[in-house]
Amino acid sequence: KIGENLSQNNNFQFAKLDPSGYACPIGSHIRRTNPRDSLQPDPIASLDAVRKHRLIRRGRVYGPKYPAHVVKHLTELARQKGLLQFAEELVSPRGLAFVALNADIKRQFEFVQQTWVNDPTFEGLYTNRDPLLANDDDPISGTNRMTIQRRPIRKEVRCLPRFVTMKGGDYFFLPGMEGLKFIASKP
For residue 15, give the nearest of 53, 55, 47 by alpha carbon: 47
DSSP letter assigned to residue 123: G
Task: Express each pLDDT in 154-185 by its tens digit.
Answer: 998 887 777 788 888 888 888 888 998 999 99
The whole-model pTM stands at 0.75
Label residue 58 exposed, middle or buried (CB < 10 Å: 0-12, 13-18, 19+).
exposed
Can you name the residues that pair with 59 across neighbouring β-strands? 98
**Residue pLDDT, tens place only, 53-88:** 999 999 999 887 777 777 677 667 666 665 554 554
**Structure confidence by residue, pLDDT tens digits, 34-44:** 999 999 889 99
In this prediction, residue 91 carries a pLDDT of 53
Phi/psi at 38 (nearest 5 deg)?
A: -95, -5
Identify the weakest region by mean pLDDT among 7-16, 120-129, 135-144. 135-144
